[in-house]
């Protein structure tokens, strides 16, 4: 079996140093490509753009195109974005390090250096990127498995309901069947369709919140809301109409609240998911309370349940996409995306979220939002919700 050699692109304008680096790396069985400045290095990369080197080692000060400009060009190409990059810098050039870090350099090797220094720098950088790649792949596989589980159970169950009751409707005989039976069939179809619609909407929202589109959407949809109670009532109506949420809901909203700037649709979705989550993990008839008020210039929303509670070691995990605690054991319904949606919407509004929970006693989810969406939030790319 032929093992593909590790490819290293070395960019250095001093021909003697360039040849020396090449010789050192070739003794370690690396396949070495060379260039004497950034422009030559780009020519090398573009000669085989979809097969970039495994690591780039580049000097900073070079004619025609220096290392900084070269690194900037490399990072501007999606296919080269994750190639590890090692800078060769003169001793004491701290400004080089700072500028390189801002552009995405991974490591620095200070001149003069000896063979072991170079070997360790290249080897350690490759190992680090390999671990990052493996971790990323594990996350992808984990999300694939979660999505397959959801598709297998959460989509199939309501779809079966819709199909089964639709078949019964086709065979319904008004002369031999009880008159109220058709209403039962229609409620079954409606229940399955609503559950499917909700899951599809949540999938779309999760993807949207991970993209630039969410930031653009909130930028033009946000507006001052004088009556925040209407948003809470709309969210509550969604949950109360869901037959899977048999909890009792009690809501307290501060009178004479100041206007709150927000995206009404996203805010309604966020509160709906908080209420739905609280109800889902409560027993039939348990009370779910919502408290909305303004304190210290912040809108504070608290949703409290008396349900199962969350183990301390899971308090961070619950905000991840498609995550449910011991799903196989509890057989919980839903896609596990509700709290990820909450987290994404809160971040888009420049707020914070937290949970206080005791196993066997219940949980309180608290969201804090500024009364006006900070401008810098809409200028920055929002971070992903979960992995």
Q: What is the pLDDT along the chain (387 residues), one digit of tens a residue?
A: 456 789 999 999 999 999 999 999 999 899 999 999 999 999 999 998 889 999 999 998 898 899 889 999 998 888 888 899 998 887 556 666 666 666 667 888 888 888 998 999 899 989 988 888 887 777 777 767 766 666 666 677 777 778 887 887 777 777 667 777 777 778 777 777 777 777 778 778 887 887 777 888 888 899 999 999 999 999 998 887 665 556 788 999 998 889 999 999 999 999 999 998 888 877 777 889 999 999 988 999 999 998 888 888 888 888 877 666 655 554 555 566 888 899 999 998 999 999 999 998 899 999 999 998 887 666 554 444 443
Token pair listed for 181: 């039976």
**pLDDT value at residue 12:** 94
Sign of CA dihedral 192, 194, 197, 201: negative
* Phi, psi dihedral angles at 91 (to 5 degrees): -60, 130
- Structural domain spans, the chain: 7-113, 139-199, 209-379
CB 293 within 8 A of CB 254: yes
Tell me if 7-113 shares its fold with 209-379.
no
pLDDT at 385: 43
What is the Cα–Cα distance from 327 to 324, expressed in whole angstroms? 6
CATH architecture of structural domain 209-379: 2-Layer Sandwich (3.30)
CA–CA distance, 130 with 96 (Å, rounded to integer): 26
Residue 328 confidence (pLDDT): 52
pLDDT in the model for residue 381: 45
Residue 245's contacts (CB-CB under 8 Å, 6 or more residues apart) are 239, 275, 276, 279, 280
Architecture of domain 7-113: 3-Layer(aba) Sandwich (3.40)
% helix, strand, coil for the chain, step of 5: 50, 20, 30
């Amino acid at each position: 079996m032929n093992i593909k050699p590790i490819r290293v692109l070395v960019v250095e304008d001093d021909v003697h140093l360039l040849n020396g680096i090449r010789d050192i790396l070739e003794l370690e069985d690396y396949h070495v490509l060379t260039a004497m400045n950034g422009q030559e290095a780009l020519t090398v990369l573009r000669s085989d753009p979809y097969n970039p080197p495994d690591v780039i080692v580049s000097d900073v000060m070079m004619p025609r195109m220096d290392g900084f400009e070269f690194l900037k060009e490399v990072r501007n190409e999606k296919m080269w974005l994750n190639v590890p990059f090692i800078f060769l810098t003169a001793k004491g050039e701290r400004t080089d390090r700072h500028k390189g870090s801002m552009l995405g350099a991974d490591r620095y090797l200070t001149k003069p250096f000896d063979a072991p220094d170079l070997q360790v720098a290249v080897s350690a950088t490759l190992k680090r990127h390999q671990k990052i790649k493996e971790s990323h792949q594990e996350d992808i596989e984990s999300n694939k498995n979660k999505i397959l589980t959801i598709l297998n159970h959460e989509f199939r169950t309501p779809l079966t309901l819709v199909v089964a009751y639709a078949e019964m409707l086709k065979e319904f005989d008004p002369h031999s069947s009880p008159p109220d039976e058709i209403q039962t069939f229609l409620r079954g179809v409606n229940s399955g369709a609503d559950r499917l619609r909700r899951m599809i909407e949540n999938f779309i929202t999760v993807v949207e919140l991970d993209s630039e589109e969410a930031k653009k959407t909130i930028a033009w949809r946000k507006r001052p809301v004088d009556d925040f109670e209407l948003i809470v009532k709309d969210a509550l109506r969604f949950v109360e109409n869901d037959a899977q949420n048999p909890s009792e809901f009690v809501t307290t909203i501060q009178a004479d609240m100041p206007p709150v700037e927000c995206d009404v649709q996203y805010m309604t979705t966020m509160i709906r998911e908080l209420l739905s989550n609280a109800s889902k993990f409560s027993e039939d008839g348990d009370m779910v309370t919502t408290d909305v008020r303004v304190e210290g210039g912040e809108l504070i929303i608290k949703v409290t349940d008396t349900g199962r509670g969350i183990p301390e070691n899971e308090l961070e995990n619950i905000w991840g996409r498609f995550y449910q605690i011991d799903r196989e054991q509890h057989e919980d319904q839903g896609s596990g995306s509700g709290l990820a949606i909450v987290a994404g919407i809160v971040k888009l509004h420049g707020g914070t979220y937290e949970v206080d929970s005791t196993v066997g006693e219940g949980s309180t989810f608290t969201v804090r939002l500024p009364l006006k969406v900070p401008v810098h939030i809409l200028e920055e790319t929002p971070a992903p919700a979960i992995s």
